[in-house]
Structure 1
């Protein structure tokens, strides 16, 4: 079963519609990558699992094969943000898991912590209504 946090499905906007089919074949030949061409929209749907492949790797593979992506600033920013998010996620996957602390431990520590808003009202007066 695939982990939904690691499974990625991305839409890539290509510069030319005739490049979608060859680009999909190029990526589909790679194990672990699935690509679907949408020529009328100049789009390429790519899916992969994160530890095995990354968006940066897919983009480099397309660029080295001579395929150009859409050069609009919105598309470039979107891809850069997605690549950054994947890099952070890969880094976090290599980190050891934080120790699991129960909620009761935090509430006990919080109760013993000195707070800045000390109420001098006696307990019985605070509970009186």
Structure 2
């Protein structure tokens, strides 16, 4: 069996660096705080503005913050845990929870995909064509010509 590295090389796999483009890692999210616990948005804005690499502004929705950051530096889960440790209460509505969980999943998946090697998709036939081309016997059939004609 052919080693995976050989197959990738024969198929012309492009090796990408582990450092992704800056545009691929930019995130922009809205974080909702619980409105039943008073004016939290302004206090949270003051706290989060001290975090380097994180751009925070008040959102148009009440008790919401608009976050912009690079996934290489921060994640929404990390920012949420920072706020919860500081005593802020996040919005616990079903919509807000589902949106946060989906965002956590998407960010984890994006990071995992950036670290994974590029997969061979729609190029697998090229691997076998190139491997057979370099095979010492080529496409030679050892059966005598008179026996091949009878088939």
The 8 Å contact of residues 37 and 44 in structure 1, kept in 2 or not, is answered as yes
Q: Which 4+ runs in 1 deviate beyond 4 A?
A: 99-104
2:47 is matched with which residue? Answer: 26
Alpha-carbon shift at residue 39 of structure 1 (Å) = 7.7
Gaps in structure 1 of 5+ consecutive residues: 109-129
Alpha-carbon shift at residue 103 of structure 1 (Å) = 9.9
Alpha-carbon shift at residue 73 of structure 1 (Å) = 0.8
SS at match of 1:18: coil
Greater RCO structure (CA 8 Å; 6+ sep): 2
Q: Deviations over 1:72-113 (max 9, x none)?
A: 01110110011011011111112223468769949x8xxxxx
Gaps in structure 2 of 5+ consecutive residues: 1-20, 130-151
Give the structure-1-normalised TM-score.
0.71
RMSD (Å) for aligned C-alpha atoms: 2.7
2:11 equivalent to 1:11: no
Give the structure-2-normalised TM-score.
0.61
